[in-house]
Amino acid sequence: MPKWTARDIVDQQGRTFVVTGANSGLGAVAARALGSAGAHVVLACRDVEKGAAVAAEIGGNAEVRRVDLADLDSVREFAAGIDRVDVLVNNAGVMAVPKRSTADGFEMHFGTNHLGHFALTGLLLDRVTDRVVTVSSLLHRFGRINLDDPNFEHRRYRRSSAYAQSKLANLMFAYELQRRLSAAGSEIKSVAAHPGYASTNLQTHTESFWGLVIGVGHLFTQRAKIGALPELYAATVPDVAGGSYIGPRGPFGLRGYPRVVGSSGRSRDRSVARALWAESESMTGVTYGFGS
């Protein structure tokens, strides 16, 4: 199988991409690659100063707009300012941070990684022309969706469990979104991706000893430029199928060039996905409209 790289991205001139978390890490790599392919890239960032530095590297076809996925008012304000988007890349996230809440009172991982992107996608969906890409993680395999206590209010908080739950929620959302788009007869695609074990600054922002341990693990990771390939593949390959999950093709999905990969049995549980969807609409106040 040929090794798909950023050089294989087809011409993206005339197309607009919104990439969340594009101020650093995989999001910045993806934004640069999309800009190099001719796309207009909206860097959706909480840290607009860092985002501006990345946009300056890309050039005149990039712009920065502020969005804080941990604040639904910020998500709504951002979405209201977007007129059209061909591809939405739900890339941003937090990883294994100490227990804290979003502006709306949700557990930080679930609120930022899942609910923030759930709300953003729902608010923008009527302006998306091509696809939605949602970035999950290998660690979704360790996640369990606890709809009785998604915010860890009544159970012991473990940052690894909170992160894994949010990444499983990302993947289940991507699959359920595709099912609902297909049922509505929409041609918009929902595609998921994961980077494998990529060296980014996400793991070092855990504010814990775990962050130091993961930092040592960087000796065994692949570069961010390779880690970003699955989401770039998911976002740009014309014939990628809706409902696909793209990840590295190497051993255990840790490293390598992108291809369609499998996911856990829990990620395919349609009854839990429907319940998660309903709860997400209730928690965010964002109700999806798929048209007739």
Q: Rounded distance, CA 21 to CA 12, Å?
A: 20
Q: Please give the order of strands across the beta sheet that includes 189-193.
A: 62-66, 40-45, 16-20, 85-90, 128-135, 189-193, 245-248, 258-260
Task: Give per-residue pLDDT as tens, 43-79.
Answer: 999 999 999 999 999 999 999 999 999 999 999 999 9
d(CA 48, CA 139): 29
Write out residues in the chain with pLDDT < 50, as ranges. Answer: 203-220, 292
Query: Which of the residues are catalytic?
Result: 163
pLDDT score recorded for residue 224: 78
Which positions ≥6 away from 246 have C-beta within 8 Å? 191, 192, 193, 194, 230, 231, 233, 234, 240, 258, 259, 260, 261
pLDDT of res. 211: 47
* Ramachandran angles phi, psi of 46, nearest 5°: -80, -40
**Token pair belonging to 49:** 């100063």
What is residue 82's predicted lDDT score, i.e. its pLDDT? 98
Query: What pLDDT, on a 0 to 100 scale, did the predictor assign at position 3?
Result: 93
Instruction: Give 127's DSSP letter.
Output: G
Measured between alpha carbons, how far is 19 from 240 in angstroms, rounded to an integer?
A: 19
Q: How many other CB atoms sit within 10 Å of the CB of residue 81?
A: 10
Instruction: Name the pTM for this structure.
Output: 0.92
CATH architecture for segment(s) 12-283: 3-Layer(aba) Sandwich (3.40)
CB-based contact 19:58 (threshold 8 Å): no
DSSP 8-class letter at 223: P
Q: Name the average pLDDT for the chain.
A: 92
Amino acid at 181: L
| pLDDT computed for residue 208 by the predictor | 46
Q: How many CA atoms lie within 13 A of 250 on its CB side?
A: 17
